[in-house]
């Protein structure tokens, strides 16, 4: 930051970028100048430029709260509280359905070896094998399973009602009873003093991870002669649906935050910048929280307040480690190649991409921290602002300021309702009648906008 010039002008310029995301971890005056106290529908994909996020279009529509979305043999499938369905043309055909609807039927599915068979469960029914046209019940498999994972050429299954981790025969997902010590099946008891039952299961980085609410258990080995369950680690998971793998890490939602685990060192909590959202999770329905990734961002949909299904979506930039808030709410995610899809509570499936939200311009907003511009002992005025921005045709940019560290009245200083699509430096005169120690800025609008930097010219008074 440039220093104050000598009298009589006592002015200086301050340069700010805004691409480091939301930060709720400390008081607003303590966060970085490039972080925000409020933001919606912006991201850091062009860091250090902050831009309006990409939009979405409706890809397909079903009914009800979709909690699972995937493809098998090139065909789309989704699960909701009534059943599991596949997309046939423009309609959905039942793979398995019930006579009633229960939103706590949370589907899990996996493929084995060559991908020619699909295996699915919902926490209530027996494991079923499906080949794309018909399904078979695997009666010998673990009953009432909620979680399924593959590791070391076996299926592993766990449920929310006991502490048994079952594993199938080697390379045979239909065999749950053979006893050969090298190739056969088995059960492993995973108990903890708190009596908690499993909440998640995944194979990752040459071991199996079984989660409970407050603990993580690692299983190493390949068969009954060398399986080794390590001592539990004190980080748990509250929703199996939030467990997401990337090229380097595993992510999941614990009772106190969102974690990053690379397989060797201890898991690291990365969610302090969104702690107000984490603290507001409705723990009675936390199993409905869900996450997904497109390779650049990890998307996290939370159930907060009195909600019983996801009602807020955030995303974490894997490159810059910045958190952002979205206006849409996803209930399931699926990455098809390089294209991200998500499902909604009302049965729609959306395809990410484009400049609008299904034809509607994207409304966006970002609020800065309170700036003291290097001196918290004197009052100052803002004389003018320069916004270096790229405003697309049909898009808008509005700028307002407020005095103090919080509250107060936002004073609008600039509005442009139709951009040129070219980078421009916008000079904005500002009239501040009452000098203040802190000032905040709010930038908001609709459509596609990129904000490269802000330059403030500030004069101090009373020094």
Domain edges within the chain: 11-54+363-461, 56-355
Does 6 score more than 60 pLDDT? Answer: no
pLDDT tens for 213-262 read: 999 999 999 999 999 999 999 999 999 999 999 999 999 999 999 999 99
Q: Tell me the per-residue pLDDT of 369-387, one tens digit each, with 9 for 90 and over.
A: 999 877 788 887 878 888 9
How many helices (DSSP H) and strands (DSSP E) are in the chain? 1, 41
User: For residue 371, which of 11, 32, 110 has the smallest C-alpha distance?
Assistant: 32
Q: Residue 8 above 60 pLDDT? A: no
Supply the CATH classification number for the domain 56-355.
2.130.10.10
The 10s digit of each residue's pLDDT in 9-42 is 577 888 999 999 999 999 999 999 999 999 999 9
Q: What is the CATH number of domain 11-54+363-461?
A: 2.60.120.260
Query: Which of 113-117, 190-194, 346-350 is predicted least confidently?
Result: 113-117
Write down the pLDDT at residue 430.
Answer: 76
> How many CB atoms are located within 10 Å of the residue 143 CB?
15
Nearest to 430 by CA among 11, 22, 37, 2: 11
Q: What angle do CA 276, 16, 278 make, to 5 degrees?
A: 10
Residue 103 has pLDDT above 60, yes or no: yes
Lowest mean pLDDT among 6-10, 393-397, 435-439: 6-10
Same fold for the pair 11-54+363-461 and 56-355: no
- Amino acid 96: pLDDT: 97
Average pLDDT, the chain: 93
Q: How high is the pLDDT of residue 462?
A: 57
**SS3 of 70, please?**
strand
In terms of Cβ atoms closer than 10 Å to its own Cβ (0-12, 13-18, 19+), residue 210 is buried
pLDDT digits (tens, 9 = 90+) for 421-456: 787 878 887 776 677 888 999 999 999 999 999 998
Report the distance separating Cα 39 and Cα 22, nearest Å: 7
pLDDT at 143 over 80: yes
């Amino acid at each position: 930051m440039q220093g104050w010039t000598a009298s009589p002008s006592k002015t200086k310029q301050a340069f700010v970028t805004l691409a480091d995301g939301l930060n709720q971890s400390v008081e607003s005056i303590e966060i970085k100048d490039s972080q925000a106290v409020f933001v919606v529908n912006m991201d850091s994909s062009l860091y250090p430029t902050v831009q309006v996020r990409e939009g979405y279009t409706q890809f397909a529509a079903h009914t009800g709260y979709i909690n699972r979305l995937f493809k098998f043999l090139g065909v789309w499938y989704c699960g909701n509280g009534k059943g599991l369905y596949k997309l046939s043309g423009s309609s959905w055909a039942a793979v398995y359905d019930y006579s009633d609807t229960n939103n706590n039927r949370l589907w899990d599915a996996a493929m084995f070896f060559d991908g020619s068979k699909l295996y699915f469960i919902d926490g209530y029914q027996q494991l079923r094998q499906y080949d794309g046209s018909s399904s078979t019940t695997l009666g010998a498999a673990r009953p009432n399973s909620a979680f399924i994972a593959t590791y070391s050429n076996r299926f592993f299954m766990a449920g929310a009602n006991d502490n048994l981790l079952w594993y199938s025969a080697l390379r045979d997902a239909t065999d749950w009873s053979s006893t050969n010590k090298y190739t056969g099946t088995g059960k492993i008891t995973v108990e903890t003093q708190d009596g908690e039952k499993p909440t998640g299961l995944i194979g990752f980085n040459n071991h199996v991870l079984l989660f409970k609410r407050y603990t993580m258990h690692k299983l190493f080995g390949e068969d009954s002669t060398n399986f080794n369950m390590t001592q539990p680690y004190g980080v748990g998971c509250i929703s199996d649906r939030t467990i997401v793998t990337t090229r380097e890490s595993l992510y999941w939602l614990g009772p106190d935050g969102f974690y990053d685990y690379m397989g060797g060192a201890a898991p690291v909590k990365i969610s302090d910048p969104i702690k107000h959202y984490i603290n507001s999770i409705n723990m009675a329905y936390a199993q409905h929280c869900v996450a997904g990734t497109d390779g650049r961002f990890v998307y996290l949909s939370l159930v907060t307040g009195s909600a019983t299904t996801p009602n807020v979506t955030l995303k974490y930039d894997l490159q810059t480690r910045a958190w952002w808030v979205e206006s849409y709410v996803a209930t399931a995610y699926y990455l098809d190649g390089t294209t991200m899809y998500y499902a909604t509570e009302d049965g729609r499936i959306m395809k990410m991409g484009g400049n609008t939200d299904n034809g509607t311009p994207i409304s966006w907003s970002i609020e800065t921290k309170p700036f003291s511009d290097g001196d918290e002992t004197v009052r100052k005025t803002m004389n003018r602002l320069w916004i270096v921005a790229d405003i697309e045709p049909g898009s808008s940019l509005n700028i307002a300021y407020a005095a103090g560290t919080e509250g107060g009245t936002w004073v609008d200083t600039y509005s442009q309702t139709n951009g040129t699509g070219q980078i421009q430096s916008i000079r904005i005169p500002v009239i501040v009648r009452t000098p203040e120690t802190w000032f905040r800025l709010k930038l908001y609008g609709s459509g596609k906008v990129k904000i490269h930097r802000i330059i403030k010219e500030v004069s101090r008074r009373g020094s």
